[in-house]
């Protein structure tokens, strides 16, 4: 098979069936429970159904310079505008809660407004078909509104502004 050097640009993915669970926009977000860096269990479905919460943002980080640039941009330009949306940094590389806490502290994200979650088995990474920089917006009903790589925050802001 040869590479397609002149792609059509059309989206050839199958249509999403409403009510199904999976990582695609329009699907119900896979539920999960992960420990934060203090060892407290955080369950997605509990977070998004908390009174006053509009949804949640997941950002998958490996603490590299690119991730740091994304997270800094998000912290400075997006997070302050959405106080009713919890922002989670999903650490899928540290391998332990202690390792994730060390990464959070050494990278300057303690007390930043983000909650760091330790995905020690990379379970959530797999559930959302994520990789470095994947950013997921989930509304309060549990539906995925965005799942793509972070760029400059423009699409993230649009997805958050459109939350019901």
| Mean pLDDT on 21-41 | 98
| Mean pLDDT on 8-17 | 73
Q: How confident is the model at residue 16 (pLDDT cuts 50, 70, 90)?
A: confident
First-to-last CA distance in the chain? 44
Give the residue among 60, 86, 88 at the shortest CA–CA distance from 148: 60
Do 87 and 55 touch, CB atoms closer than 8 A? no
Give the residue among 11, 47, 10 at the shortest CA–CA distance from 136: 47
Instruction: Give the chain's domains with CATH numbers.
Output: 33-161 (3.40.30.10)
- The SS3 call for residue 88 is strand
Q: How confident is the model at residue 4 (pLDDT cuts 50, 70, 90)?
A: low
**Whether pLDDT at 81 is above 80:** yes
**Whether pLDDT at 29 is above 90:** yes
| Mean pLDDT on 28-56 | 98
Query: CB neighbours of 97 closer than 8 A, spacing ≥ 6?
Result: 35, 37, 39, 118, 120
Mean pLDDT of the chain: 95
| Mean pLDDT on 101-110 | 97
């Amino acid at each position: 098979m040869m590479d397609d050097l002149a792609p059509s640009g059309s989206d050839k993915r199958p249509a999403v069936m409403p009510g199904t669970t999976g990582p695609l926009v329009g699907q119900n977000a896979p539920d999960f429970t992960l420990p934060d860096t203090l060892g407290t269990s955080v369950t997605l479905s509990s977070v998004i159904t908390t009174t006053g919460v509009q949804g949640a943002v997941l950002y998958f980080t490996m603490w590299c310079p690119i991730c740091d640039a994304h997270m800094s941009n998000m912290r400075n330009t997006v997070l302050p505008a959405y106080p009713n949306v919890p922002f989670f940094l999903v650490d899928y590389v540290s391998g332990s809660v202690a390792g994730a806490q060390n990464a959070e502290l050494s990278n300057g994200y303690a007390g930043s407004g983000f909650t760091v979650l330790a995905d020690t088995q990379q379970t959530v990474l797999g559930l959302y078909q994520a990789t470095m920089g994947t950013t997921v917006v989930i509304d309060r009903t549990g539906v995925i509104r965005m799942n793509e790589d972070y760029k400059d925050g423009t699409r993230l802001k649009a997805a958050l502004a459109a939350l019901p």
